[in-house]
Structure 1
């Protein structure tokens, strides 16, 4: 099953596709900001019984390059099966859509990034039939964002910096800067989205505990597994309970509608099929605890059954 850090990286780039261009412009690669983005299905299944799925597939259109496909793969370790799969993906997508295709591999450690950067060649020594040159983002080239002005100006890039540098000695400074930048956001929904993406992206690292402490400073602005863990551990009993009960009593109806809408939009954005009975079940639910659990599962679920699983 796809892990949390794996999913967070793709959600970040799906929701903010321009972040990859900004990250690479610092290296002298002339990628323009997207003028238009279309999310394509990630299903590359053929008619024969062989299923292949890419992590994220976007069509990006810029003024200079025009339309092209951005294929994003998150890679946490070396995998000898990946090079041939990536070559297949590129050839298949070019044949299917007749558009230029760019492969972007995102890594969280330098060793994997160095491996992914190596050109992939298919053919004989005297004649190479296919050469694949992945673009790679990782600790070796994603900027370390510890300047509050830089983080506030580009929150997605600051989140990418935190995720890719989760094991860097500068991670505490990166997370503190990101937390300060998030608290300057006017949009509370953006705060929730980027805070949770950061938590998911950090995975089971020491940095995740640091992020949990930073976010626990103001739980009235933050609802996620972090705040749930803090309540379960008893560190916020009383104060948090009072705030939660107050919010539920005063805004329960609005909150229910908000979570329902977010869950449905998240499933649709991830390409998860929502049959009519399932959609009606979600809309009919008034239990915030159940709705929150469905929303959390929708982040990594591969089908609607996993959302409703006990």
Structure 2
């Protein structure tokens, strides 16, 4: 089952594919900075009744002239069956695109991250025909960003860092640094990263800290009239940002929208409705599933 935190973990790489290169550079594994990034179809299904879908698939054209595929998977827990799926992905992608492929696995739990590093061997003990070694980002190797200046310098990495370390004792400091950094962005971009952070944190103490921080932004304006004006303007700005994020999510999931549906999203000024559509789009396969009417309780 795809969850909101699962979706946020790999969607950050769609917002800024260079984040993985910068992260591994800080870990002493230098990968060339991308000069061009293409979002490819995540569908890895062949002509058989088995559907396989990669979380995110990118084509990376790097500064040193190399071109390769980056398959990004978000893993929440150990899953012995997933190892064979990853082997399939790498083989399939090399066959389909004729390019080398790198598997990147993102985790929020250190034990899961350590497990995901493998290596995973396939064959018999006397002869290993294949070995899969994912690159893994998790709490054990993603930097903890608690300094607002560091967060400003690389906001996508700060978002991913906050999500990855959401259960750590530094969560409060990290989220405060991220909140401060987001104030340096334009409203639309900041809204996307606010939503990704909220989705990635899921539920728990860190999620509540983040919600409280987002509520504090308007606490300095005390008058009733000021609060009303701010609320109205924020609702409009939030709706615009949410609509932009929703379009990005729908595009990444290869869901087709007709003109009426696009207009319905772009003209909506209801943040709660847009959030509901966003949640449905995380698992939907058609536009009808996103816009389905809620059953009445009466």
TM-score in terms of structure 1 length: 0.84
Q: CA deviation at 1:59?
A: 0.4
| Aligned: 1:269 with 2:269 | no
| Aligned: 1:243 with 2:229 | yes
SS in 2 for 1:76: coil
| Aligned: 1:206 with 2:205 | yes
The RMSD of aligned alpha carbons is 2.7
SS in 1 for 2:150: helix
User: Where does residue 124 of structure 1 map in the other structure?
Assistant: 124
Q: Deviations over 1:101-157 (max 9, x none)?
A: 000000001100111011011111111111111000000000000112111000011
Provide the C-alpha distance between the structure 2 equivalents of 1:174 and 1:243, rounded to a whole number of angstroms.
30
User: Where does residue 23 of structure 1 map in the other structure?
Assistant: 23
* Structure 2: 5+ residue stretches without partners: none
Provide the C-alpha distance between the structure 1 equivalents of 2:181 and 2:242, rounded to a whole number of angstroms.
25
Q: Measured at CA, do residues 163 and 36 of structure 1 come closer, stay the same or move farther in structure 2, by a change above 3 Å? A: same
Q: Deviations over 1:23-75 (max 9, x none)?
A: 11112111121100000001111112111111110001102251110000000
Provide the C-alpha distance between the structure 1 equivalents of 2:77 and 2:274, rounded to a whole number of angstroms.
32
SS in 2 for 1:213: helix
Provide the C-alpha distance between the structure 2 equivalents of 1:112 and 1:14, rounded to a whole number of angstroms.
23
For these two proteins, the number of residue pairs brought into alignment is: 290
| Aligned: 1:69 with 2:55 | no
Provide the C-alpha distance between the structure 1 equivalents of 2:35 and 2:140, rounded to a whole number of angstroms.
28
After superposition, residues 268-307 of structure 1 pair within 5 angstroms as 268-275=251-258, 278-279=261-262, 282=265, 288=270, 292-293=274-275, 295-297=277-279, 299-303=281-285, 304-307=287-290
Q: Measured at CA, do residues 75 and 275 of structure 1 come closer, stay the same or move farther in structure 2, by a change above 3 Å? A: same
Provide the C-alpha distance between the structure 1 equivalents of 2:23 and 2:97, rounded to a whole number of angstroms.
26
Q: Deviations over 1:287-310 (max 9, x none)?
A: 636852464336514221221122
Q: Of the two structures, which has the highest relative contact order with CA contacts closer than 8 Å and spacing of 6 or more? A: 2
| Aligned: 1:168 with 2:168 | yes
| Aligned: 1:86 with 2:86 | yes
Provide the C-alpha distance between the structure 2 equivalents of 1:135 and 1:243, rounded to a whole number of angstroms.
48
* Structure 1: 5+ residue stretches without partners: 221-235
Q: Deviations over 1:76-119 (max 9, x none)?
A: 10001100000000000000000010000000011001110110
After superposition, residues 186-205 of structure 1 pair within 5 angstroms as 187-205=186-204
Provide the C-alpha distance between the structure 2 equivalents of 1:208 and 1:11, rounded to a whole number of angstroms.
18
| Contact 1:10 1:56 survives alignment (8 Å) | yes
Provide the C-alpha distance between the structure 1 equivalents of 2:20 and 2:291, rounded to a whole number of angstroms.
34
Over 3 Å off, 4+ runs: 238-241, 243-248, 254-266, 275-283, 285-291
| Aligned: 1:157 with 2:143 | no
| Contact 1:301 1:307 survives alignment (8 Å) | no
